[in-house]
Amino acid sequence: MNRIVEVNRLNKTYGSETVIQDVSFTIEENKIYGLLGRNGAGKTTIMHMITAQLFPSGGELKVFGEHPYENNRVLTRMSFIKESQKYPDVFRIADVLDIAADLYPNWDQGFAEQLIEDFRLPVKRRMKKLSRGMLSSVGIIVGLASRAPLTIFDEPYLGLDAVARNLFYERLLEDYAEHPRTVILSTHLIDEVSNMLEHVIVIDNGKILLDEEADSLRGKAFTAVGPAATVRAWAAGKQLIHEEAIGGLMSASVLGNLSAAERREAEAQGIELVPVSLQQLIVHLTSGKTNGKVAELG
């Protein structure tokens, strides 16, 4: 498997403040990655370093096997779509697409035009007159139609409604199936994208918290609900990531796979078991109460 991005002990500091600390990971060719984490965790900083918009303070960073800075061989193979993209005031949508067509060697004009229709965009309108959602749609179209070997979407859908987001997911999956490429998707809407991701990297406080295949995270955690004393006894000795109690009832989320026999045993004691979704798992792991519990996951 080819390595598209290799990050080794990457650091980024601003004065005495460390925002990225000893981060190492690899992005492999033609997979869809989710780069997840809370606001301020360092996701955008990492993406800015990969795309050569920020210098690391320390560590190694290679994209397509080379240093990305002022390196045209690397930069023409990347498409980076970010939430806060600024456009010159006089630009119309058509101008943005023309420039994208010049910039990206794999640009597919037919696909771009089909997407403009799908997202119902007024191509002649000036960028500064567009709604927030329309601006996001333009970014998504550029990101998809550029078919760049490394495509990065950083919270690409501010202002987009559920219908438009769904359209983005559908088009991305369809086009990815026909034209495989490496995609990094950073988002807070984890539940919406979790089925599309092949691999998940979770950043918390500037460090890597999780780096795992998305499918293997399913069924990794369960919430047990039942009478407090029973649940407490059942959860004893297990990796507890979250607990809540109301009246005589208690809910405890624990890490670990359960065998069919273990499930039956729990259910026989009057405990109800519910799987923890990827989003809930990340909320529990990054809410600051479970330090040190994550090592068990790997």
Binding site for another protein (CB under 8 A): 31-32, 166, 169-170, 173-174, 176-178, 180, 192, 195-198, 214-216, 218-219, 222, 260, 264, 267-268, 274-278
Rounded Cα distance, 85 and 54, in Å: 16
Quick one: 62 or 179, whose CB is closer to another protein?
179
Quick one: 1 or 90, whose CB is closer to another protein?
1
CB 150 within 8 A of CB 4: yes
Residue 75 CB, shortest distance to another protein, in Å, is 27
Residue 275 CB, shortest distance to another protein, in Å, is 3
Residue 297 CB, shortest distance to another protein, in Å, is 15
* DSSP for residue 11: E
Token reading at 39: 């606001």
Rounded Cα distance, 237 and 234, in Å: 8
Quick one: 122 or 275, whose CB is closer to another protein?
275
Quick one: 71 or 195, whose CB is closer to another protein?
195
**CB neighbour list of residue 34: distance below 8 Å, 6 or more residues apart:** 185, 186, 187, 190, 193, 194, 197, 199, 200, 201, 214
**CB neighbour list of residue 129: distance below 8 Å, 6 or more residues apart:** none
Quick one: 173 or 245, whose CB is closer to another protein?
173
Cα Rg, the chain, nearest whole Å: 22
Instruction: Quote the strand ranges of 29-149, DSSP E.
Output: 32-37, 58-63, 78-82
Residue 219 CB, shortest distance to another protein, in Å, is 5
Quick one: 19 or 167, whose CB is closer to another protein?
167
**CB neighbour list of residue 118: distance below 8 Å, 6 or more residues apart:** 167, 171
Residue 111 CB, shortest distance to another protein, in Å, is 16
Map tokens 């809930």 to a residue. Answer: 280
Quick one: 52 or 214, whose CB is closer to another protein?
214
Residue 21 CB, shortest distance to another protein, in Å, is 30
Rounded Cα distance, 251 and 243, in Å: 6
Residue 235 CB, shortest distance to another protein, in Å, is 17
